[in-house]
Amino acid sequence: MTDKPSTARTSRRSVVGGMAGGVLAAIANPAQAQQSNAAPIAGPAKQDPTTQYPRPPFKPQQQEWPGLAGKMDPRPDHGEESYKGSGRLAGRKALITGGDSGMGRAAAIAFAREGADVAFGYLPAEEADAKEVVQLIEAAGRKAVPLPGDIRDEAFCQKLVEDAVAGLDGLDILVSNAARQHPQKELADITTEAFDWTFKTNVYAMFWITKAALKHMDAGSSVIVTSSVNAYAPDETLVDYAMTKACGMNFTKSLAKQLAKKGIRINAVAPGPIWTPLQPSGGQFPDKLPKFGADTPMGRPGQPAELAAIYVLLASQEDSYATGQVYGAVGGKGGP
């Protein structure tokens, strides 16, 4: 028998191999095979990220600490209109500190729309913002548990966790997000009282709340710490704040090695300049606020909504192999 030309053999092998690959793909993922010719699912419209949100200069504005999102101009976008869920956190139970505004509010909205019930801490002075968050969580069909109080107090931190667990009937996700920031031009200008205030809010509370929460968390749970670009690229006017954010980053990396054995993940988000009430309520010098974020390659600050998907990813099972990681979102100005 005469052999067929090599080109014919190659062609036949390619066809048979392609058919086999297609059959195997269909067996492995029948839904994907059925949808291969379907129209793509509509998602967010493609946009230029440099002009997607407001750019400086901003209107001069100052608020009494701790500030309200509802009084900012322009108002921050936390994803109230834009975030669409897809069941990625269905049935989960989350506690978020600083959930009334900023990244905490963005995470609360996103978690609820992904199917999670959400408890969140906030200061009593932030009640107006907190009420909006409750409405947004409930509008998503999920349970909201608002928990006002001051996390500088260890007893309150323990109560915060216990009340969250009772209100949610469990705890799967912890987001340690609440923070204080107040710039000073000279180290001599940072008083011991202010130093203590910043560390109690940003470090002690993170420690107390995480320690209490872990008693209720099991394998598959997730802890997320909000760190900052200042953890690894500190601003000269934010010495004490930058120190606390470095603490958060190292807390994440160190604790990840302990918790991995229990099947619990911990990761951090390290934002750059984000438009939140932290900025006009003492987080920036008043004369610098109108140009806030202008020095990034994108030429603008980020919006809380732009970080929501990062918190969802870190909380979800999709990110199951990531622990001890720091996820940056800094508008192009460096990264972890």
Q: CB-based burial of residue 249 (10 Å sphere; 0-12 exposed, 13-18 middle, 19+ buried)? A: buried
Q: What is the pLDDT of residue 11?
A: 41
Per residue in 118-139, pLDDT tens?
A: 999 999 999 999 999 999 999 9
Q: What is the pLDDT of residue 40?
A: 63
Confidence of residue 37 (pLDDT cuts 50, 70, 90): low
- Number of neighbouring beta carbons within 10 Å of residue 71: 15
DSSP category for residue 38: S
Q: Please give the Cα distance from 307 to 104 (Å, whole number).
A: 10
Q: What is the pLDDT of residue 20?
A: 41
In the predicted model, is pLDDT for residue 265 greater than 60?
Answer: yes
Q: What is the pLDDT of residue 35?
A: 47
Give the mean model confidence (pLDDT) for residues 175-181.
97
User: Among this protein's residues, is 321 annotated catalytic?
Assistant: no
Q: What is the pLDDT of residue 133?
A: 98
In the predicted model, is pLDDT for residue 209 greater than 90?
Answer: yes
In the predicted model, is pLDDT for residue 254 greater than 90?
Answer: yes
Residue from 241, 311, 321, 327 carrying the catalytic annotation: 241
Give the mean model confidence (pLDDT) for residues 181-198.
98
Confidence of residue 334 (pLDDT cuts 50, 70, 90): confident
Q: What percent of the chain has pLDDT over 70?
A: 88
In the predicted model, is pLDDT for residue 3 greater than 80?
Answer: no
Which of 176, 152, 188, 194 has the alpha carbon at shortest distance from 282? 194
Residue type, 34: Q
Cis bond leading into 74, ω under 30°?
yes
Q: What is the pLDDT of residue 39?
A: 62
Residue-range domain boundaries for the chain: 89-329
Per residue in 280-297, pLDDT tens?
A: 999 999 999 999 999 999
Confidence of residue 333 (pLDDT cuts 50, 70, 90): confident
- 119-138 burial, b for 16+ CB within 10 Å, e for fewer? bbbbbebbeebbebbbebbe
Per residue in 67-90, pLDDT tens?
A: 999 999 999 999 999 999 999 999
Report yes or no: 271 and 249 within 8 Å, Cβ to Cβ: no
In the predicted model, is pLDDT for residue 46 greater than 60?
Answer: yes
Q: What is the pLDDT of residue 6?
A: 42
Confidence of residue 335 (pLDDT cuts 50, 70, 90): confident
Q: What is the pLDDT of residue 45?
A: 85
Which of 328, 303, 314 has the alpha carbon at shortest distance from 81? 303
Rg (CA), the chain: 23
Range name among 39-53, 160-174, 184-198 with the lowest pLDDT average: 39-53
Q: How far is CA 211 from its chain centroid?
A: 20
Which of 187, 177, 181 has the alpha carbon at shortest distance from 66? 181
Residue type, 145: V
Q: Please give the Cα distance from 333 to 298 (Å, whole number).
A: 9
Range name among 6-15, 237-246, 315-324 with the lowest pLDDT average: 6-15
In the predicted model, is pLDDT for residue 260 greater than 90?
Answer: yes
What Cα–Cα distance (Å) separates residue 71 from each residue in 197, 217, 280, 293, 294? 24, 37, 10, 19, 22
Helix pair angle (239-259, 192-199), 10° resolution: 30
Calculate the average pLDDT of the chain.
90
Topology of the domain covering 89-329: Rossmann fold (3.40.50)
Give the mean model confidence (pLDDT) for residues 35-45.
63
**Helix extents (H) in 48-191:** 102-113, 127-139, 154-168
Beta strands in the chain (DSSP E): 93-97, 117-122, 144-148, 173-176, 222-226, 265-271, 326-329
Q: What is the pLDDT of residue 76?
A: 96
Per residue in 23-32, pLDDT tens?
A: 334 334 544 4
DSSP category for residue 79: S
- Computed from CA positions of residues 198, 270, 252, 136, in that sequence, does the dihedral angle turn out positive or negative? positive
Confidence of residue 100 (pLDDT cuts 50, 70, 90): very high
In the predicted model, is pLDDT for residue 8 greater than 80?
Answer: no
